Amino acid sequence: KSFSTTFYRNMLSSELSEADVSALRVNKERLARDLHHSCQWGFGIRWGDESTDTGMQRLALSEEDKSVRNWFIQTMKDLKCDITVDEMGNIFAVRAGRRKDVPATFIGSHLDTQPTGGRYDGILGVLSGVEALKRMDEMGLETEGGVGVVNWTNEEGARFPVSMISSGVWAECIALSKAHDLKEVPTVASLPTAASAPETMKSALQKIGYLGSMPCSYKSTPMAAHFELHIEQGPHLVSAGQRVGVVTAVQAYRWFRLNVIGRDTHTGTTAFEHRADALYAFARMMVRAREVAAGRGCLASVGIIEAKPGSVNTVPGEVSFSLDIRGPETELVAEVEKELRRDFDEIAAAEGAGIGKPCRVEWTLDFDSPAVKFHDDCIECVQQSAHAVVADASVADPKSLVRPIMSGAGHDSVFTSKRVPTSMIFVPCKDGLSHHPEEFCSADDCATGASVILQAVVRYDRRRFA
């Protein structure tokens, strides 16, 4: 069943039949072309021979981020969208609906990447929105409410170490001033500005010209709902050969910065029992963290570490590191934290006990994201759309290609879900690998996900005015 591009000319979403909606598909080739086109700004480590066989290194608010933002805005203007940039640099592009007095339904994600990131994490989410609007435009499909695409700033939390910070400010869960004052991680790989004094989010926004004037709040840029397409970033879909994940929930996580204070001393003349070696204490803590987290079905990870003073023959007297604890329930993460606070104190106390000056450990909570359940209406729209899109698959039970799934990673949808109906769509990625240059999602899988989000948005629009 295939539709001519004129089929929907001047049709309104609410006038379509169920079969018409189920037949909606994006243009796979155009989506792939646009996606890789947008990856010209900030492409990273090469891993294969094809021109698109590279990772991405597009840290939030870098020059590369500025370029892709400019491209995004121009592209959306060409689609006659209305553009708004808020105080966190979030970009809202809205295609008007019939009714002017209601908020738009949004497709959103992010264009920033990890320092050694890939071409799909976040980027696919925004580009699926671009493609959905291109498709609606060429078909002449109109909606009751508007349909928007939003690019959220610094979702990764790689350059500025709070993930989803700008959707967090929008949801009024994070204070604007805290976000504006947040400093970049000085050691993040290859960041050209890392050399000089670290930028704050505000100074970085100013530098690239994306400090907008619109207040960053769900009150100023309201939404009817938020849908997000993302690669799974984990192994479940790909290893089961499934094609679409209907995301019902997101696991909890907390980010900490820890400082271990010991005593600088000579490596060659200081017996182990006379040391308060902050790095040795760290090593024991990291080993313990995995043990404790694993024991409760959780994760604990260290991504950033710095040891001072940083000399071969000086025992480090100060170590700071990041700790990322995750688990399927908020309570489990809290339990891991509690246990680790006790164990780390114990480890610190043991190191340096011989000189009566044991190490100390200090914790700072940088970010707290409790477990989230998405909205039933949105989940239903996604599920119906997913079943419709996979229906033509040549397997006995196409619906088996779709499964409900919990997200291990955080997403901007976590914060939009605090204020508006929200849900997400996952598609498989190679080896479940993400935050790695070789992160990969086939053009087919990208298009499947984008067709699902296109239908979900149309279904949501029909539903809200039914």
The token pair at 413 is 């949808």
Q: Which of residues 140-169 bind ligand URP (CB under 6 A)?
A: 155-157, 163
User: Cα(424)–Cα(42) distance, rounded to whole angstroms?
Assistant: 26
115 binds ligand URP (CB under 6 A): no
436 binds ligand URP (CB under 6 A): no
CB of 387 to its own copies, least distance (A): 25
CB of 257 to ligand URP, least distance (A): 15
The option from ligand URP, its own copies, none interacting with 365 (CB < 5 to 8 A, set by class) reads none
Cα dihedral value 280, 284, 290, 292, nearest 10? -150
SS3 208: coil
The option from its own copies, ligand URP, none interacting with 411 (CB < 5 to 8 A, set by class) reads ligand URP
CB-count burial class (<10 Å; 0-12, 13-18, 19+) for 74: exposed
SS3 371: coil
CB of 277 to its own copies, least distance (A): 7
Cα angle 131, 133, 134 (rounded to 5 degrees) comes to 60
393 and 448 in contact (C-beta within 8 Å)? no
User: Cα(387)–Cα(136) distance, rounded to whole angstroms?
Assistant: 21
The option from its own copies, ligand URP, none interacting with 254 (CB < 5 to 8 A, set by class) reads none
CB-nearer residue toward its own copies: 24 or 261: 261
The option from its own copies, ligand URP, none interacting with 139 (CB < 5 to 8 A, set by class) reads none
32 and 178 in contact (C-beta within 8 Å)? no
Find, among 353, 355, 352, the residue nearest to 277 by Cα: 352
CB of 114 to its own copies, least distance (A): 5
CB of 26 to ligand URP, least distance (A): 22
Q: How many residues bind ligand URP (CB under 6 A)?
A: 12
CB of 16 to ligand URP, least distance (A): 32
CB of 158 to its own copies, least distance (A): 4
The option from its own copies, ligand URP, none interacting with 264 (CB < 5 to 8 A, set by class) reads its own copies
Out of 411, 430, 436, 462, point to the residue binding ligand URP (CB under 6 A). 411
195: DSSP letter: G
Q: Which of residues 262-281 bind ligand URP (CB under 6 A)?
A: 266, 268
313 binds ligand URP (CB under 6 A): yes
Out of 169, 409, 456, 457, point to the residue binding ligand URP (CB under 6 A). 409
Q: Which of residues 224-263 bind ligand URP (CB under 6 A)?
A: 233
CB-count burial class (<10 Å; 0-12, 13-18, 19+) for 465: middle
194: DSSP letter: G
CB of 153 to ligand URP, least distance (A): 13
Which pairs with CB-CB distance under 8 Å and at least 24 residues apart come from 91-95?
Answer: 91/150, 91/151, 91/210, 92/148, 92/149, 92/150, 92/221, 93/133, 93/148, 93/149, 93/150, 94/146, 94/147, 94/148, 95/133, 95/136, 95/137, 95/143, 95/146, 95/147, 95/148
310 binds ligand URP (CB under 6 A): no
66 binds ligand URP (CB under 6 A): no
Binding site for ligand URP (CB under 6 A): 121, 155-157, 163, 233, 266, 268, 313, 409-411
